[in-house]
Chain A
Amino acid sequence: SQQGEEDPQALSIQEGENATMNCSYKTSINNLQWYRQNSGRGLVHLILIRSNEREKHSGRLRVTLDTSKKSSSLLITASRAADTASYFCATDWASGNTPLVFGKGTRLSVIA
């Protein structure tokens, strides 16, 4: 089953602008991860944030996690046309051999 919602479902911005995507989940989590998927292709792991962390950075990516609100956000700064893709959050409830539960995803279009 899916954890919850991501918003917006679709986002269109100009190159150079920042893109913010949000993810909400329903149950307690161990970790939350963000993945990117180019059209009809495999997943690319972007960043992982643990349940005891509040913010994490990686290059142009900034992820926040608010466990009290069961939500996370992904910020992509200075967007590029190559960032056009679908972005999914995924959660797990324990480390190890547990599957990921994916959000519905946000389709980001960056217009050059």
Chain B
Amino acid sequence: GAVVSQHPSRVICKSGTSVKIECRSLDFQATTMFWYRQFPKQSLMLMATSNEGSKATYEQGVEKDKFLINHASLTLSTLTVTSAHPEDSSFYICSVPGQGAEAFFGQGTRLTVV
């Protein structure tokens, strides 16, 4: 199966700063990647769909100006949390859809905003 590398795995940042999370598809090119967010003891919620060469599409309630997504190449999507606040502290995870039904997930990024 595809290998998806997500970096960093953990990050602590100060309130008001920005954090960039990278998601790389190592085995094949991905025109689409998905970003999910998971608050403690909750499930994964889709935040946005990252589209190579075009704008990302965001789920309702997700601020596109706060969560900047760039999918500049077929193997890399980045999520930048801008002006982070403590309520943005969460587990962020990306996924790459496979050729079949299975999705391949990155290792996730634990963001803590202090």
Contacts and interface: CB of A to CB of B under 8 A. Distances in A.
Interface of A: 1-2, 30-31, 33, 40-43, 45, 48, 50, 88, 90, 92, 95-105, 107
24 contacts: A30-B101, A31-B101, A40-B110, A41-B107, A42-B105, A42-B106, A42-B107, A43-B105, A45-B103, A50-B101, A88-B44, A95-B100, A96-B97, A97-B31, A97-B97, A98-B97, A99-B34, A99-B46, A99-B95, A100-B34, A100-B103, A101-B46, A102-B43, A107-B41
Given A33-B103, A48-B102, 19 more contacts: A30-B101, A40-B108, A40-B110, A41-B108, A42-B105, A42-B106, A43-B93, A45-B102, A45-B103, A45-B105, A50-B101, A97-B32, A98-B97, A99-B49, A100-B95, A101-B46, A102-B43, A102-B44, A107-B41
Contact of B93 (A2, A42, A96, A104): A42
A43 B107 CA distance: 7
Contacts of A88: 43-44
Contacts of B41: 107
B36 to A, nearest CB: 8
Interface string B1-44: 10000100000000000000000000000011010100001111
Most buried by A among B1, B6, B32, B105: B105
Contact of B45 (A2, A31, A33, A43): A2
Nearest to B104: A45
Contacts of A45: 1, 102-103, 105
A2 B38 CA distance: 12
A31 B110 CA distance: 29
Interface string B35-71: 0100001111110010000000001000000000000
A40 B9 CA distance: 11
A31 B103 CA distance: 11
Contacts of A40: 91, 108, 110
A47 to B, nearest CB: 10
Contacts of A95: 100-101
